[in-house]
Structure 1
């Protein structure tokens, strides 16, 4: 049906912030190890402070302390980096105040672990990113879609979202299951680097021309390791 290879791997320790590039990663029932384990919330509530409501969040980065690009680099608390480069431990006392100040969160913020029933991994195809850029007449950064995996495969642009759920997809030596296309929220329309600039034409195009889908979710039950350069096939 198609074949190709993994070009990039990404994880986002803190939802809403930019993430870190990896060379390899462990994936299991909970998703990609260390991915989206923490969230930003209004103090004392379950109301999320996220990139769609506070786009300046994406000016911050989050990474696990051992930034070696290794699959086993998830331990302790993540480190957050301000737009200017200053580093904060996720449990530092002054971090919530500083983060709220820089992202215009007037009610303040708190960082805590998120609850999830199971994990899933978002795969984006380079051919679709290239075609989307062509359709809009400008380069579209794949990071707008916050993928875990970017692949280059011999599949027609956007065809991945029409694949049948339940399809077996091999990443490296491991068989994943296609769960469903990714239904997009407003987030891809905001600058992925925290510039607080919105591309409304992109948002409209995704809704009207692509059925509001971009990328696909896959999952696996047992722990496996995938790497940049691994083959992908279905």
Structure 2
């Protein structure tokens, strides 16, 4: 892919790569990543499971799970298996250990266990943002501020703890336009927890294929947003004005499901491969 800036052709490139080994915890900034058939290697392969009701831990309900955003992650994936280390309250612990479960339970104030197995009826709690424009049409009569429990459709399809698509993409052009609509604010890509940030003037369209080296991604749909972009995370302060701007300017139809406030796009993996910073997107 390329775009024109004046009379000069500008190549579109990957300017950030991130993965989130534990759902709703802090992610890892990468220089390179392998793309597997169901997403970036190691991305959202673990989740906290509530021992009381079996739901999947997600910062979409910040009262219950918001402190997950303070948990650090680091993953070693230089062999056939990935090994995840959690960094909780100054302590580093291997995921899957009783000590990690205990530390996370203490940190979150509720009994949890870590799991790599997606439950067949994977569900999560979410608190809807206070702006009616942020409530998706498909949530029926749900009201702003209401807590709901919803199924995680993407987790069943992909086999990881993802909400919809295997790969999440945002572009620098879309971030710049959002900032303009927020009176010139600078909006960090990290608020949206993307896997790829592409230096491009606008988002790719659903159905478009992106070739990055030997990897090929197919854009599927725009990304419906929840309360998370407005929360404090990864060194960013809470900013509910982001949600207000999404509700005002970004409510669009989504794949026949109705309208929702969207930012960024989801993509499926057509062909696995290796991604690197600076890679040209064609």
Same fold (TM over 0.5): yes
Q: SS of the counterpart of 1:8? A: strand
Tell me if structure 2 keeps the 8 A contact 1:34–1:74.
no
Tell me if structure 2 keeps the 8 A contact 1:13–1:34.
yes
Match of 1:160 among 198, 203, 206: 203
Distance 1:73 1:147 in 2: 25
Q: SS of the counterpart of 1:160? A: coil
Distance 1:224 1:149 in 2: 14
Using CA pairs under 8 Å that are at least 6 residues apart, name the structure with larger relative contact order, 1 or 2.
1
Say yes or no: does 1:4 pair with 2:9: no
Q: SS of the counterpart of 1:221? A: strand
> What's the counterpart of residue 67 of structure 2?
56
Q: SS of the counterpart of 2:278? A: coil
Say yes or no: does 1:141 pair with 2:215: no
Tell me if structure 2 keeps the 8 A contact 1:59–1:194.
no
Q: TM-score, normalised by structure 2?
A: 0.70
Tell me if structure 2 keeps the 8 A contact 1:25–1:225.
yes
> What's the counterpart of residue 169 of structure 1?
210
Q: How far off is 1:32 after superposition?
A: 0.9
Say yes or no: does 1:125 pair with 2:191: no
Spell out the pairing of 1:1-234 with structure 2 (5 A cutoff).
2=2, 3-43=11-51, 45-53=53-61, 54-65=65-76, 72=78, 75-84=81-90, 86-103=91-108, 105=109, 107-115=110-118, 116=155, 117-118=157-158, 120-136=166-182, 137-153=184-200, 155=201, 159-160=202-203, 163=205, 165-193=206-234, 198-211=238-251, 212-233=261-282
Which structure dedicates a bigger proportion of its chain to strand?
2
Distance of aligned partners of 1:45 and 1:73 in 2 relative to their CA distance in 1, 3 Å threshold: farther
Distance of aligned partners of 1:113 and 1:44 in 2 relative to their CA distance in 1, 3 Å threshold: farther
204-213 or 5-14: bigger deviation: 204-213
Tell me if structure 1 keeps the 8 A contact 2:231–2:239.
yes
Higher radius of gyration, 1 or 2: 2
Q: After superposition, what is the alpha-carbon deviation per residue over 1:161-207, rounded to whole angstroms, capped at 9, x for unaligned? A: 6x2x2212222343321111111111111112378x64222112112
Q: After superposition, what is the alpha-carbon deviation per residue over 1:115-169, rounded to whole angstroms, capped at 9, x for unaligned? A: 332261111101222332333243322111111011112x2xxx426x2x22122
Tell me if structure 2 keeps the 8 A contact 1:55–1:194.
no
Distance 2:105 2:191 in 1: 22
Moved over 3 A (4+): none
Distance 2:195 2:228 in 1: 16
Distance 1:81 1:172 in 2: 33
Distance 1:83 1:224 in 2: 36
Paired residues, number: 218
RMSD of aligned C-alpha atoms?
A: 2.3
215-224 or 11-20: bigger deviation: 215-224
Q: SS of the counterpart of 2:281? A: strand
Q: How far off is 1:88 after superposition?
A: 1.1
Q: Which runs of 5+ in 2 are unaligned?
A: 3-10, 119-154, 159-164, 252-260
